[in-house]
């Protein structure tokens, strides 16, 4: 977020290098004397201008006060709505007043329209006012309104000794609003990305589940296709339940290839617990390796006797299958 803050400030401030200045006469300090700012995360280094911009913004955010800032071409930028700047012009010289970009002047009111000349224009998306006194030793006030709802109020003085050729404005509150809006937009996009990732994850899981179900519904013979010869399947195994309760899972049919035994369960067991499968050898039972494929249980090997069992003890339900 710190990196976002720096980039937002730098974009708003542009190419201006900032430093604290008095109200009228300004001498920009060298960049080396600027207070140290914390470097942004990610290894990026701040230029002197970006460092100064960050410090100016942080001061306003922490204290609620904003200083006039000086930058390239001798322009002095005043914080909008935090001061009533005095602009010092020279007789028969033009003072340039640059307003905040993106707005349009709706009215200009000049106190002394006889000894002061005023003209408005635009430079790109930025409103510009040209002001020229016809003599020295005079002063008046200037009020400007814009379609952005801003009212600029300035005190203008004509002096033969001091001269501020260019002044401008920046809006700390607007900088904060834009930075906050950008942070909210990034948070919205982050949540949107997280939602998309979650949706993709759920879609993958659903696709995997359907693939598993499809695989389970497909009986795949293990071994070469030549071994799964329908004319050589062994259907000689017969099954019998040991109780009325066990009849619900008596196999529909049982058949075998040379390597596997296939037990087709009744449709009534769909979604229910499936029985364990044992190899039966006299009184000995051996649990067999079984996997489900749709309505079939696929058993490795071709035992002559198998038992399907549910529950244990006196509640055990058993189906015995014997090869005839």
Output the pTM of the full model. Answer: 0.45
Token look-up 């006030």 returns 141
* Of the listed ranges 17-21, 93-97, 119-123, the one predicted with least confidence: 17-21
By C-alpha distance, which of 101, 85, 120 is closest to 171? Answer: 101
Judged against a pLDDT cut of 90, whether residue 69 lies above it is answered with: no
* CA 42/CA 23 separation, integer angstroms: 38
Residues 216-245 pLDDT 10s: 555 444 444 445 677 788 999 999 998 888
- End-to-end Cα separation, the chain, in angstroms: 77
| Mean pLDDT to the nearest integer, 95-124 | 95
| Mean pLDDT to the nearest integer, 94-117 | 95
Fold of the CATH domain 237-323: Immunoglobulin-like (2.60.40)
* Whether the Cβ atoms of residue 233 and residue 256 lie closer than 8 Å to each other: yes
* Whether the Cβ atoms of residue 145 and residue 130 lie closer than 8 Å to each other: no
| Residue 121 banded pLDDT, cuts 50, 70, 90 | very high
Q: Where in the chain is the domain with CATH 2.60.40.2500?
A: 237-323
Residues 197-219 pLDDT 10s: 999 999 999 998 888 776 655 54
* CA 113/CA 4 separation, integer angstroms: 46
- Highest-pLDDT range among 149-163, 179-193, 264-278: 149-163
φ, ψ at 53 (rounded to 5°): -65, -40
Q: What is the mean pLDDT of the chain?
A: 78
Residues 257-293 pLDDT 10s: 888 899 999 988 887 888 999 998 888 889 998 888 8
Judged against a pLDDT cut of 60, whether residue 47 lies above it is answered with: no
Give the tokens for residue 257: 């290839």
pLDDT of residue 130: 97
Question: For 196, what's the count of Cα atoms within 13 Å in the CB-facing half-sphere?
Answer: 6
Q: How far is CA 152 from CA 56, 108, 125, in A?
A: 21, 10, 17
Fold of the CATH domain 63-173: Immunoglobulin-like (2.60.40)
Angle made by CA atoms 324, 283, 266, in degrees to the nearest 5? 50
Tell me how crowded residue 216 is: count the other CB atoms within 10 A of its CB.
14
């Amino acid at each position: 977020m710190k990196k976002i803050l720096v980039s937002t400030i730098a974009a708003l401030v542009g190419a201006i290098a900032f430093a604290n200045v008095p109200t009228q006469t300004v001498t920009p300090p060298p960049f080396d004397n600027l207070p140290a700012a914390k470097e942004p995360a990610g290894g990026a280094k701040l230029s002197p201008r970006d460092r100064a911009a960050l410090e100016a913004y942080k001061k306003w955010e922490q204290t609620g006060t904003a200083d006039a800032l000086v930058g390239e071409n001798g322009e002095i930028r005043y914080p909008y709505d935090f001061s009533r700047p005095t602009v010092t012009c020279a007789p028969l010289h033009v003072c340039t007043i640059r307003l905040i970009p993106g707005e349009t002047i709706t009215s200009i009111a000049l106190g002394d329209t006889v000894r002061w000349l005023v003209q408005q224009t635009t430079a790109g998306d930025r409103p510009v006012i040209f002001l020229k006194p016809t003599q020295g030793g005079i002063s008046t006030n200037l009020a400007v309104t814009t379609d952005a709802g801003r009212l600029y109020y300035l005190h203008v003085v004509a002096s033969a000794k001091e001269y501020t050729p260019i002044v401008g404005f920046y809006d700390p509150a607007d900088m904060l609003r834009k930075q906050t809006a950008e942070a909210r937009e990034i948070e919205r996009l982050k949540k949107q990305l997280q939602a998309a990732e979650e949706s993709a994850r759920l879609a993958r899981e659903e696709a995997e589940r359907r693939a598993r179900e499809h695989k389970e519904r497909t009986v795949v013979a293990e071994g070469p296709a030549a071994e799964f010869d329908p004319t050589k399947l062994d259907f000689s195994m017969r099954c019998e339940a040991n109780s009325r309760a066990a009849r619900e899972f008596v196999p529909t049919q049982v058949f075998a290839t040379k390597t596997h035994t296939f037990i087709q369960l009744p449709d009534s067991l769909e979604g229910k617990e499936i029985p364990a499968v044992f190899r039966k050898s006299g009184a000995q039972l051996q649990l067999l390796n079984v996997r489900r494929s749709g309505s079939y249980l696929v058993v490795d090997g071709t035992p002559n006797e198998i038992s399907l069992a549910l529950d244990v003890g006196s509640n055990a339900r058993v189906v015995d299958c014997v090869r005839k």
